[in-house]
Every structure is written in C-alpha cells, then in structure tokens.
C-alpha cells in the first residue's frame, strides 16, 4: 500500500499540473504562431502586428487568418473558377452562450475585423463571422448574430 501511494502521488500531481497548463486555454495564438512559424515570420510587419491583435483585413492569407482567429468552426469549398472558399467562426447565439465575438472597424479607407472578448463594451459585436477567400486571400466577410 505504501509503495502504491508513493507511485500514484507524482502521477496525480503531473496530471493536475497538465490540466491546469494545457486544459484552460482553447484559443492560444502563441501556439498557432509556433505551428505556422514560417508563414508568420514571412508576413510583413504591419500584417504581423494586426495578427498579434487578432485582427484581419482584406488581402490577408488564410495562414494569417488562421493564426489570428484559430481553426474555423466550419469551412466550405465553393469550388468555382476563382478558387473561392469560406470559413465560419463562432456559434449562433441561439445555440448556446457564445464564447467568441467579432467587431468590425475602419481606419482610414480600410476595414478590419477583430476577434474580441465577450466582455467587450462595444454595442456592435457579433458572435459569428463568415470570411470569404479567393485564391487564398480574404476578399470579404459578413457578421451574424449581433450581441444584445
């Protein structure tokens, strides 16, 4: 019994520590940067800065969007001559309490889409975003389910 208790204690401690450090984060941008380090390093400085702020704009590659926003909830290949496909992020408000929100803003003549926290005070945030790509570049997005 003494031997069994001495063996189980370190295993239990490692298990608990693993849950604390690995199980808490579902959206880790640093992990995605490491996963796609070559693509991240090759981004121009201004684009890299946007990605670090979980922000995208038209013309960004799918790799930049993936690093900024993570794995999409759904993706659809429209299979047309332009190489168009769509990624959908977030869940409908009706499904359950959303964990991810998006807001759109403008600076100058450019539009940006940012993944934001659910406690954001801005009234114009949405729980779903559909991003459309053509030839691996963002061409547009659409927002759904405005937060009330």
The dihedral through the CA atoms of 90, 93, 98, 104 has a sign that is positive
Taking only the tens place, the pLDDT of each residue in 11-36 is 544 444 444 444 444 579 999 999 99
What's the pTM? 0.78
pLDDT of residue 23: 40
Phi then psi dihedrals of residue 128, to 5 deg: -135, 145
How far apart are alpha carbons 60 and 78 in whole angstroms?
Answer: 19
Structure-model confidence comparison of residues 78 and 140, the more confident one: 140
Per-residue pLDDT tens digits for 92-129: 766 677 778 999 999 999 999 999 876 666 678 898 99
- CA–CA gap between residue 127 and residue 26 (Å, rounded): 17
């Amino acid at each position: 019994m003494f031997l069994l208790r001495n063996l189980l204690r370190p295993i239990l401690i490692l298990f608990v520590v693993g849950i604390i450090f690995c199980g808490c984060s579902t959206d880790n941008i640093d992990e995605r940067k490491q996963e796609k380090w070559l693509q991240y390093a090759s981004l121009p400085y201004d684009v890299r800065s946007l990605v670090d702020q979980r922000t995208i704009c038209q013309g960004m590659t799918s790799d930049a969007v993936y690093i900024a926003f993570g794995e999409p909830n759904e993706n659809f290949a429209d299979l047309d001559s332009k190489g168009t496909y769509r990624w959908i992020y977030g869940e409908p408000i009706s499904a359950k309490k959303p964990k991810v929100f998006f807001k759109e803003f403008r600076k100058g003549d450019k539009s940006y889409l940012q993944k934001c926290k659910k406690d954001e005070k801005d009234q114009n945030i949405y729980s779903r975003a559909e991003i459309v790509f053509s030839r691996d570049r963002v061409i547009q997005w659409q927002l759904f389910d405005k937060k009330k």
